[in-house]
Amino acid sequence: MSAFLTLDSLSLATPDGRRLFDGLTLAFGRERTGLVGRNGSGKSTLLNFIASGGEPAAGSVLRRGSVGALAQVADETLSVDEALGVAGGLARLRRMEAGAGSLEDAAEADWTLEGRIAEALAEVGLPGLALDRRIATLSGGERTRVAIARLLIEAPDLLLLDEPTNNLDADGRAAIAELLARWKGGAIVASHDRALLEHVDRIVELTPVGVAVFGGGWSAFEAARDAARLRAETELERAADALKAAERAVQKGREKRDRRDAAGRAYARSGSAPKIVLGGMKRRAEESAGKETLLAERLIGEKAEALDEARSRVEILTPLHVDLPSPVLSAGRLLLSLAGVEARFGARRLFGPLSLEVRGPERIAVAGRNGAGKSTLLRIVAGELAPAAGEVRRPGRVAMLDQHVGLLEPAATILDNMRRTNPGLTEFAARSVLARFAFRNDAALQVAGTLSGGERLRAGLACVFAGQPPDLLILDEPTNHLDLAAIEQLEAALKGFRGALMLVSHDRAFLQAIGVTRTLTL
């Protein structure tokens, strides 16, 4: 069968004309394609372009199939049939059954609709769900499954998923994975969820230096990407060595020419040569020096250009590394104690009574369905929220970063945020801390509200770790707004942190990478 969608040398740009990527040529059939790249690389723009059409900056698009996108149900006032997009069709059937249908109803009535609705709900694990039930009464995972059921009913040829597992609990993530595994058409998935990307047939990476296509899922892509990084770093070393060798050769040539010129000047001073001979010698020496200078400049220029190109590839391929200062903790030192802690939302109890101790450099993941109170627990631990009952003791230093890095004032610069959260720092000391977190010189003057997710998290960590490092660092869904490069950067930083961690995350690969030692389920 021919492809549902074909992109030919496609280039897309932002509304202000900035090119996102160039030369994407790819056909989409019944395979599952993962779409990866740094934040701002054009993943969402590409999916929106495919869904809605429009004019590309360059290239062409050929569409032969229908396109549908997964849309999370945000309006809690909807009924299930409204969220499924079938309320109108069902009302038409009711009118026909009651004998009150119009000619238009008769022409458009879909007598297979009820059966397809029942089949779709059963397939997503919601058999017999009442169609008049309000979305507000469903859990987060159930809402995701309703959104998936709508796609099953509509059955587009090509399915678009843009960060489909963001903000979902384990049930919702499982539903998305099931959808992708069972989907009979084609699918394009823009995601930083490595567990989900493991099950695609190929991965397309959008980068500032071009578009690359890798066969297989995440593991195959990661191996190929790491090999590319190693090659780029090797090319950088070779280019640097070649430039040094060229500079040494040019210097030796200059020294040889200087010795030759000195001998010529000595011969001229001796007075033993005719003026016409001396003039010819001077002219030849100047011509030779000019040629050697041009050759030297060209040689060094070529090697310097090769070095710049190799360096730029390493900077693009290799994520920044941040070393987090660590406290000195003994294995048995008590950092946190909860005794009979309860949390309530109005009259509803979220969790509790809960008793917990954190000792030494433990790494605790807080798990539970959406709405179970995970973020509330972290805020209680951090001292931002008082418990409804029970006692909290914090013998250790505690610091928290939420998923939006709320400690940063969006309108202030990174430097101003650093000095506000650490009032004892001079500007020089603040800049020194920020430099350790890769905010050097003018980068420290960026306004916080303009930062990418990875940059915001890095700036928040810099503010938290500017003074004495916390004994217990609390993170709430830290990977939610990060691209894959930023997630890997955070993993590397947390691996080297020797303090305790308590965090909420549904990213299993992330939890495994940072070495979670126990899980607390609410």
Q: Compute the distance between CA of residue 379 and CA of residue 402 in angstroms, rounded to an integer.
A: 9
Quick one: pLDDT at residue 38?
A: 80
Query: What does the angle CA 199 – CA 202 – CA 204 come to, to the nearest 5 degrees?
Result: 120
Residue 115 has pLDDT above 60, yes or no: yes
150-157 mean pLDDT: 89
pLDDT at 336 (0 to 100): 93
Split at pLDDT 50, 70, 90, the class of 353 is very high
Q: In this predicted model, what pLDDT tens digit does every residue of 476-500 receive, in sequence order? A: 988 877 778 888 888 888 998 999 9
Summarize the confidence of residues 161-165 as an average pLDDT.
Answer: 86
Which H helix or E strand runs over 37? strand 32-37
Residue of 204, 213, 212, 211 whose CA lies nearest to 11: 211
Beta-carbon contacts of 132 under 8 Å, excluding residues fewer than 6 positions away, are: 79, 80, 81
Q: What gap in Å lies between CA 395 and CA 363, rounded to an integer?
A: 17
pLDDT per position as a tens digit, 222-255: 888 778 777 777 777 777 777 777 677 767 767 7
- When comparing pLDDT for 237 and 390, which is higher? 390
Per-residue pLDDT, 412: 92
Query: For residue 264, what is the enclosing H or E element?
Result: helix 218-270
Cβ of 1: how many Cβ atoms within 10 Å? 8
Q: Yes or no: say if 517 and 499 are a contact pair by the CB < 8 Å rule.
A: no
Q: Report long-range pairs for 88-93 (Cβ below 8 Å, ≥24 apart).
A: 89/113, 90/114, 90/117, 90/131
pLDDT at 512 over 60: yes
The pLDDT mean for the chain works out to 83
For residue 191, the SS3 value is: coil
Q: Which of 84, 162, 174 is nearest to 369 (CA)?
A: 174
Is 189 in contact with 200 (CB distance < 8 Å)?
Answer: yes
319 DSSP assignment: P
User: What was the pLDDT predicted at 409?
Assistant: 92
Q: Which strand (E) or helix (H) includes residue 434? A: helix 427-436
pLDDT band at 355 (very low <50, low <70, confident <90, very high): very high
CA 154 to chain centre: 30
Residue 282's pLDDT band (cuts 50, 70, 90): low
What is the rounded distance in angstroms from the CA atom of residue 445 to the CA atom of residue 431?
10
Supply 517's token pair: 């030692």
pLDDT tens for each residue of 495-504: 989 999 999 9
Most distant CA pair in the chain: distance in Å?
A: 127
Residue 299 is predicted with a pLDDT of 61
Least confident of 78-92, 147-161, 206-220, 393-407: 206-220
Among residues 44, 67, 42, 69, which one has the least CA distance to residue 57? 42
Mean pLDDT score, 268-295:
57
- Could you tell me the two tokens for 323? 């070393």
Per-residue pLDDT averaged across 58-86, rounded?
A: 85
pLDDT at residue 380, rounded to an integer:
93
The end-to-end CA distance of the chain, in Å, is 49
pLDDT at 280: 58
User: If DSSP codes are grouped into helix, strand and coil, which group holds residue 256?
Assistant: helix
pLDDT value for 292: 56
Q: Give the model's pLDDT for residue 368.
A: 86
For the stretch 2-12, pLDDT in tens is 789 899 998 88
Edge-to-edge strand list for the sheet holding 19-28: 19-28, 5-13, 58-63
User: Quick one: pLDDT band at residue 287, thresholds 50, 70, 90?
Assistant: low
Per-residue pLDDT, 339 = 94
- Residue 474 clears pLDDT 90, i.e. is over it: yes
Write down the pLDDT at residue 260: 67
The secondary structure of residue 325, as a DSSP letter, is P
Residue 278: pLDDT over 60:
no
CA dist 464 and 324 (Å) reads: 10
Which residue has better confidence, 140 or 341?
341
Q: Is the omega angle on the peptide bond into residue 353 within 30 degrees of 0, that is, cis?
A: yes
Provide, rounded to the nearest whole percent, the portion of the chain with pLDDT above 90.
23
